[in-house]
Amino acid sequence: MHANLWHPWRRRGKTRAMLESLPVASAFYQVDAANPQRRQRAIADVVTGLRRWRLAAALAWLDIRNRYRGSVLGPFWLTLSTGTMLLGIGITYSALFRLTLVEYLPHLAVSLIVWNFISQMVTEATTSFVQSEAIIRQMPLPYTIHALRCMMRNALIGAHNLPLILLIFALCGVFPGWEVLLAIPGLMLIAVNGFALALLLGMVCARFRDIGPIVGSVMQLFFFLTPIIWKPQLLGERAVLLPLNPFYAILETVRGPLIDGGGTLIAWVAALSYTFINLALAATFLVRFRSRVAFWV
Amino acid sequence: MALIEARGLCLDFPYYHIGARSLKKRLLGNARLHTDPSNRVVVTALRDLSFTIRDGERVALVGHNGAGKTTLLRMLAGVYEPVAGRLTVAGTIGAMIDVSAGLDPESTGRQNVRLRCLYRGMADADTAALTAEVEEFAGLGEFFDVPIRTYSAGMGVRLAFAMATAMQPEVLLMDEWFLAGDAGFLAKAEERLARLVTGADIMVVATHDYGVVRRWCTRAIRLEGGIITADGTVDEVLGPVPEADQPVRTTV
């Protein structure tokens, strides 16, 4: 019945033909406040939103193009600045930790680049809906589209840093084995979490505008609590506490395969659990508050 | 068959991001502003609206600024969901509330048409057909492949108008500017608008312009403070055509 909820525009002839073939009118929109069908609507939102990923991808690409309009290097400026930062931190901290650059740099490169990726996703998730305010108030689109747009944009930007990892591995002579492929599910896990957060934080931060800056500070805090600059082995016995940090768990699913030959089982279990919690929270919020977002943005 | 059926529609508009405390002191006591159970200031945007619009009706929503016309249009389009009541809209909906929404100024006219097709969830073949149609109608020549940021106001209107009117919805929801003169940029725009309006099974237009109402509509609904105060034929709601207006035939 709601299959066509998000296709307000269809050619007349086409719709007519569809009406003849389908017993239930496909162009049919009904809302009843006494029977809000919140769960069905939320599911329809996610399903149609994911099915229309091409719109989200086009918007994400436009975001990037417009952000770097007129710039020669464009998003590769990020690659350059990450490279500079790697060099600075690499030289200083390898000396402080008494590690050789070849031992330290691959770990730092992977951790910092993946961290930037995660951190960017989280920070921009806070504005996923507010940023699309003009569209949300003018046309009924699945909210999933806006969250997907936010996630895809950051995934594309994050991908610009990946060549740095290859470069540093080549320079340091690190050639990890086939375990490297495990980093792919790790990256996918980050994307799924980014999408769920764009829904969840997008909604919360549209309603409460103070949450955005708080999220920024929290990310700053976790930058130091997560093994990015320092190696997890340096914690000694206290390393058992690390999986309590969700950012460590998620980061480890990519860092582990690239640096330590696979990542610990406990990190994977923790990462999957955090992802599940994140998705469950996002789903709950979407079901409960989806119809309010248009008033919040 | 197209149909719009509203039964007891209510909408409260919460004021979230305004200093609620001082606002409360100043504004409460006004009949439309009150606090809801969680102590937020809300304005009653629409209160207990019931109406049925059937095939062939062209309805004007009239009323002062802030009477709830555009809010009702947005609710019919599916942007806002009612807090009470039931709304049924049968038929493909075409909402022309703000046609510039979703345009990307850095993209060319052609890219914007493609983007609009993606927004509408159209298939690739339809996208190509629509692009050709819009290119032909808007008559922008080589500017069709130039970023729309560089367009003059008139060119922007032509592109927006061509995109918005290139398809034929069954239920047409419009805000007033479409019918109220801006579209007079080309003689063929009027013909196209007439085709769009008469081709739709149902039209709902929000407007201040009684000339527009008398020319295009078969029925008028007057909103005041979010409540329907009159609903009937155009003459019943607006009264007979004033003497002074009679010689002036509005041109659209």
Residue pLDDT, tens place only, A94-107:
999 999 999 899 99
Which residue, B162, B143, B142, is CA-closest to B151? B143
* Lowest mean pLDDT, pick from A1-10, A72-81, A199-208, A273-282: A1-10
- Asked whether residue A12 carries a pLDDT value surpassing 70, the answer given is no
Q: Given this model, what pLDDT does residue A1 score?
A: 36
Q: Using alpha carbons, list the distances in angstroms from residue B21 to A66, A173, B18, B32, B240.
A: 39, 64, 9, 17, 46
Q: Among B168, B186, B213, which residue terminates a domain?
A: B168
Same domain, B42 and B121: no
**Residue B74 covered by a domain:** yes
Categorize the per-residue pLDDT at B245 as very low, low, confident or very high, splitting at 50, 70 and 90. low
pLDDT of the residue at B142:
92
- Confidence at residue B191, expressed as pLDDT on a 0 to 100 scale: 81
The answer on B139 and B102 residing in a single domain is yes
End position of a domain, from candidates B115, B146, B168: B168
- pLDDT band (50, 70, 90) for residue A26: very low
Hey, CA dihedral for A54, A59, A63, A66, is it positive or negative?
Answer: positive
| A1 close to B (CB below 8 A) | no
Do B118 and A34 lie within an 8 Å CB cutoff?
Answer: no
Look at residue B250 and tell me if it is in a domain. Answer: no
Higher per-residue pLDDT: B14 or A124: A124
Distance from CA of A17 to the nearest CA of B (A): 13
Q: How far apart are CA B222 and CA B69, in angstroms?
A: 9
Which pLDDT score, from 0 to 100, does residue A36 have? 85
Q: H-helix or E-strand containing B51?
A: strand B41-54
**Amino acid letter, B252:** V
- The pLDDT value given to residue A23: 31
Chain A contacts of B80, Cβ < 8 Å? 294-295
- Amino acid at the residue B195: R
Integer Cα distance of B163 and B113 in angstroms: 7
Q: Which two structure tokens, joined as six digits, stand for B74?
A: 């947005």
Q: Which residues pair with B95 in a beta bridge?
A: B173
Are B87 and B123 in the same domain? no
Looking at beta carbons, which residues of chain A come within 8 Å of B102? 134-135, 138-139
Q: Give a yes or no: residue B131 inside a domain.
A: yes
Range of the domain at B85: 3-92+200-245
pLDDT for B87: 95
Q: Are A16 and A27 in contact (CB under 8 A)?
A: no
Residues of chain A found within 8 Å of residue B14, distances taken between Cβ atoms: 295
Q: Which residues pair with A30 in a beta bridge?
A: B88
Work out the number of other CB atoms within 10 angstroms of the CB of residue B184. Answer: 12
Q: Is residue B38 part of a domain?
A: yes
**Residue B31: its pLDDT value, please?**
61
| Domain total of chain B | 2
Query: What pLDDT was estimated at residue A9?
Result: 38
Q: Which helix (H) or strand (E) holds B20?
A: helix B20-27
Share of chain A above pLDDT 70, in %: 91
Give the model's confidence band at A251: pLDDT under 50 very low, under 70 low, under 90 confident, else very high: very high
Among B164, B217, B200, B102, residue whose Cα is nearest residue A27: B200
B153 and B231 in a single domain? The answer is no
Q: Of A22-31, A164-173, A214-223, where does mean pLDDT reach its minimum?
A: A22-31
Backbone angles phi, psi at A131, to 5 degrees: -65, -30
Read off the pLDDT band of A263 (50, 70, 90): confident
Asked if B64 and B105 sit in the same domain, the reply is: no
B194, B184 Cβ separation under 8 angstroms: no
Q: What secondary structure, in 3-state letters, does chain A show?
A: CCCCCCCCCCCHHHHHHHHHHCCCCCCEEEEECCCCCHHHHHHHHHHHHHHCHHHHHHHHHHHHHHHCCCCCCCCHHHHHHHHHHHHHHHHHHHHHCCCCHHHHHHHHHHHHHHHHHHHHHHHHHCCCCHHHHHHHCCCCCCHHHHHHHHHHHHHHHHHCCHHHHHHHHHHHCCCCCHHHHHHHHHHHHHHHHHHHHHHHHHHHHHHCCCHHHHHHHHHHHHHHHCCCCCCHHHHHHHHHHHHHCHHHHHHHHHHHHHHHCCCCHHHHHHHHHHHHHHHHHHHHHHHHHHHHHHHHC
Q: Are residues B102 and B227 in the same domain?
A: no
Q: Assess if residue B84 is contained within a domain.
A: yes
Check residues B153 and A77 and name the one with the higher pLDDT. A77
What residue of B is the nearest CA neighbor of A8? B93
pLDDT at A174 > cutoff 90: no
B35/B156 same-domain check: no
Same domain? B99 vs B81: no
Q: Distances in Å between the alpha carbon of A263 and those of A156, A182, A227, A236, A254?
A: 25, 9, 13, 17, 8
Residue B47: name the closest of B29, B65, B68, B61 by CA. Answer: B68
- Output the pLDDT for position A254: 94
Do B206 and B83 share a structural domain?
yes
B79 at A interface, C-beta within 8 A: yes
Q: Which of B18-27, B76-85, B121-130, B201-210 has the lowest mean pLDDT?
A: B18-27
Q: What is the pLDDT of residue A179?
A: 86
Q: Residues B56, B64: contact at Cβ < 8 Å? A: no
pLDDT at A16: 35
Q: Does pLDDT of B165 surpass 90?
A: no
**Does residue B79 share a domain with residue B12?**
yes
Interface of B with A in 110-129 (CB under 8 A): 114-115, 118-122, 126
Task: Give pLDDT, residue B154.
Answer: 79
Cβ–Cβ below 8 Å for A138 and B101: yes
Closest CA to A151 of A111, A194, A109: A194
The domain that contains B42 carries what CATH number?
3.40.50.300
Q: Please indicate whether, in this complex, the C-beta atoms of B16 and A296 are within 8 angstroms of each other.
A: yes
End-to-end CA distance of chain A: 28
Q: Looking at this predicted complex, what is its ipTM? A: 0.83
User: Does the residue B142 lie in any domain?
Assistant: yes
Residue pair B90/A21 in contact by the 8 Å Cβ criterion: no
- Model pLDDT, residue A13: 41
Instruction: Look at residue A6 and tell me whether its pLDDT is greater than 50.
Output: no
Residue B189 lies in a domain: no
Q: What pLDDT shows up at residue A72?
A: 87
Confidence bin at A260 (pLDDT 50/70/90): confident
Q: Do B95 and A136 touch (CB under 8 A)?
A: no
pLDDT of residue B252: 46
Contact B94, B167 (CB under 8 A): yes
CA distance A246 to A232: 14
Q: Which of residues B42 and A205 earns the better pLDDT score?
A: A205
**Closest Cα in chain A, distance from residue B9 (Å):** 9
Q: Do both B77 and B142 map to the same domain?
A: no
Asked whether residue A73 carries a pLDDT value surpassing 90, the answer given is no
Q: Cα–Cα distance between A105 and A171 in angstroms, integer?
A: 10
Q: What is the mean pLDDT of chain B?
A: 83
- A217 at the B interface (CB within 8 A)? no
* Confidence tier at B14 by pLDDT (50, 70, 90): confident
List CB contacts (< 8 A) between A52 and chain B. Answer: 118, 121
* Interface touch A9/B17, C-beta < 8 Å: no
Q: Is A2 on the interface with B (CB under 8 A)?
A: no
Instruction: Mean pLDDT check: name the lowest of A11-20, A218-227, B155-164.
Output: A11-20
Predicted pLDDT of residue A20 = 31
Co-location of B33 and B76 in the same domain: yes
- pLDDT tier for residue B164 given thresholds of 50, 70 and 90: confident
B44 within some domain: yes
Q: For residue A257, give Cα distances in angstroms to A107, A161, A162, B210.
A: 11, 18, 15, 70
